[in-house]
Amino acid sequence: MANKKGVIGILTGGGDVPGLNPAIRAVTIRALREGYQVVGIRRGWAGLVDIVRDKNADNSNNYQFLSEEIVNRAGRTGGTFLHTSRTKPSSIKKASVPEHLQGQYAEEKNDLTPEVLKNLDFLGMDYLIPIGGDDTLSYGVRLYKEGVKVIAIPKTMDNDVPGTDYCIGFSTCVTRTISLTNSLRTIAGSHERFLVLEVFGRYAGFTAMLPTMAGAANRCVIPEFKFNIEHLTELMSKDREANPSHYSVLLISEGSMYEGGEMVFEDRSTDAYGHAKLGGIGDLVSAQIKDISPKFNKGKTVDVVNQKLGYMVRGGDPDAIDSIVPMAFGNLALDLLLKGVHGRLVVLKNGRYDNMPLDVVTASKKVVEVKHFYDTDRYRPIYENFEMKPLFIMTSE
């Protein structure tokens, strides 16, 4: 690759969210104007795994050179035009080892980091800017420890990357959840039903808590606190009775668990990070509160409107916050790079842009701090002590 001041690689990994393209745009435009070349790595870490290190080989499926024209066209849209994957190069299953490497890597799980390092060298990468959640960025920590100059940008709809109050994608997710819930409440009200909406959130309940705080739901259940189904049905029945339109609304995180129970999985297959596919807690809870409802409704059954919001909350264009924050994060990353600083995570902390050591990503977990923010008896957020809290109220500190 032609080298001016240096070559910057940028990639997106994990789930797509609105705000990724604005972040890519911000990094690229600033870097080009500072005299760097920018290369977009396709399909997250996967794009760095199966490169053929031969100058005559066609590796165009793995990367593309980025220009202002390319990133301006994509920069206002949702998703990621570089594509994404959940590939973890340090744990590649035997069947997924690239054809030209199968003779060298024949274990059930293979660490292809040595190949990634050689591929980065082959591509002439001087710096790497991964954009992702704690899974994607944990591999960024690995590469940094191997000597790669990494500056990371936090992205996840669940808002659960440690070290930062805000992750790209969260605001749009909350905005969409409130909007979709308000659309569905007209149906629940018309038929006098319970409305149960399942939202993303494997370990952290921020995506259920914030819309509930904003008035979208009466109750929410979250992964951080195991719920009692009978108590939940009683609370929802009281909410329904008190509502002039005779309905009540529950937001439930996909990772929520019953008392004495575990997470609910769609199947037992796992991704490269060892996560089984979650889904179905909303269906189970809907069926059970319907069965239990006569106990709290004078012997009569209450029907349920049950909807999995799922991908609807992370499709489409970014909102204002997910257009502005990625722009700032991208420029923060370039500020660090220009100062010769790496091994950092750009963050929003207490309303201020800053940066943290990159290994904060692997040092802790960011979840809802139940005792400060969640009423474990009423299954809803605590509405007090907001002074000096950040914009979206909850951090894990």
Contacts (Cβ under 8 Å, ≥6 apart) of 299: none
Q: pLDDT tens digit string along 236-286?
A: 999 999 999 999 999 999 999 999 877 676 665 666 656 666 668 999 999
CA 266 – CA 261 distance, rounded (Å): 16
- Domains plus CATH for the chain? 7-168+316-363 (3.40.50.450), 171-313+370-381 (3.40.50.460)
The pLDDT, as a whole number, for residue 320 is: 96
Q: pLDDT tens digit string along 280-313?
A: 899 999 999 999 999 999 999 999 999 999 999 9
DSSP string, 41-77: ETTGGGGGTS----TTS--TTTEEE--HHHHHHHTTS
Arithmetic mean of pLDDT, 125-153: 97
Contact call for residues 272 and 136 (beta carbons, < 8 A): no
Q: How many CB atoms within 10 Å of residue 384?
A: 7
Q: Which residue has the higher pLDDT, 263 or 121?
A: 121
> Which residues are annotated as catalytic?
158
- The residues facing 258 across adjacent strands are 227
The pLDDT, as a whole number, for residue 383 is: 95
The pLDDT, as a whole number, for residue 396 is: 60
Asked if the model's pLDDT at residue 397 lies above 90, the reply is no
CA 166 – CA 179 distance, rounded (Å): 21
Would the pTM of this model clear 0.75, i.e. be above it? Answer: yes
Q: pLDDT tens digit string along 160-203?
A: 999 999 999 999 999 999 999 999 999 999 999 999 999 999 89
Mean pLDDT (the chain) is: 94
